[in-house]
Amino acid sequence: MQWTLSLFILGGWLGFSFAVLERVVTPLQTLSNLLAALREGDYSIRARGANTDEALGQVMLEANVLGETLHAQRLGALDATNLLRTVMAEIDVALFTFDDEDKLKLVNRAGERLLAQPEERLLGRKASELGLEEALRGARNRTLQKMFPGKTGRWGMCRGSFREEGRPHHIVVLTDLSQALREEERQAWRRLIHVIGHELNNSLAPIKSMAGTLAHLLDRDQVDDWKDDMKRGLVVIGERSEALSRFMSAYARLARLPQPTFQDVDVDTLVRCIAALQTSYPVEIAAGPAGALSSAQSLALAEPGFR
């Protein structure tokens, strides 16, 4: 009886142990493997055969949902990163990223062309070696006249900051303003030529017409009042010639504008005059302390980006 009872107890204990192993230990090991895969970035592993009526089964189902969510987020992050890299590579502005030690961490194709070197030779070098130390100091948005190995010209500089892995980084964007300035200059010349051509036609057309009329009068054999017609024609020619002369003189004076005269101005009057020029949307002016504005400050008001 003692041996039978011992064997019965031992068998029951072994059966209970295997049941616990099957119902608790194995699911916990599966869940541990699943979490380890998620930690390593492998989101393809899923737990199978989970019973929703049990607590461990519900935990495994939630782990599966977590894996699917992380997998979708990873795909979205990869797509966004690829899109960002494609945009950075294709945009026609030079983009540079520096770490807190002023070492270059990222550069796009436009930046490679600007520095006339491939990315492999640029990454890890300091801004002072690349001639970009000036872009990391001073105002964040300004215009630079600088010579680079790949190109020389006038550049619009914009600098921003961000953090990566807890460390501060700087991003510098250089935009070539030469093409835009040349296009603006071309448009200005086109408008100038259009205005000058219009004024010249307005003056030369009457002169040509009156000259032809006077020549026709002279060709006629008998003209009774040719002197009066001749006088009126010459008066018209003289007036149009004088108007054309005034027009050309005005443009000549415009090209030789005098130097500005600096003086203090009233701040309230200046701000209200500037606000009156804005008609696209209403401008609200808040009252401030009375006083005058120095000439240097008034020049600052005219700078782009003033608010």
CB under 8 Å to 265, separation ≥6 — which residues?
Answer: 292, 293, 298
User: What pTM, to 2 d.p., does this model score?
Assistant: 0.48
> What does CATH list as the number for 181-255?
1.10.287
**Range with lowest mean pLDDT among 56-60, 125-129, 150-154, 223-227:** 223-227
* CATH of region 91-176, choose from 3.40.190.10, 3.30.465.10, 3.40.920.10, 3.30.450.20: 3.30.450.20
Rounded Cα distance between 101 and 133, Å, is 11
Q: What is the pLDDT of residues 196-217, one digit of tens each?
A: 777 777 777 777 777 777 777 7
Q: Can you say whether residue 116 is alpha, beta or left, with left for phi > 0 and alpha for psi between -120 and 50 degrees? A: left
Q: What is the pLDDT of residues 182-195, one digit of tens each?
A: 777 778 778 877 77
* Count of C-beta atoms within a 10 Å radius of residue 106: 17
Q: What is the pLDDT of residues 119-148, one digit of tens each?
A: 888 888 888 888 888 888 888 888 888 888
CA distances from 225 to 206, 219, 231, 239, 256 (A): 21, 14, 10, 22, 47
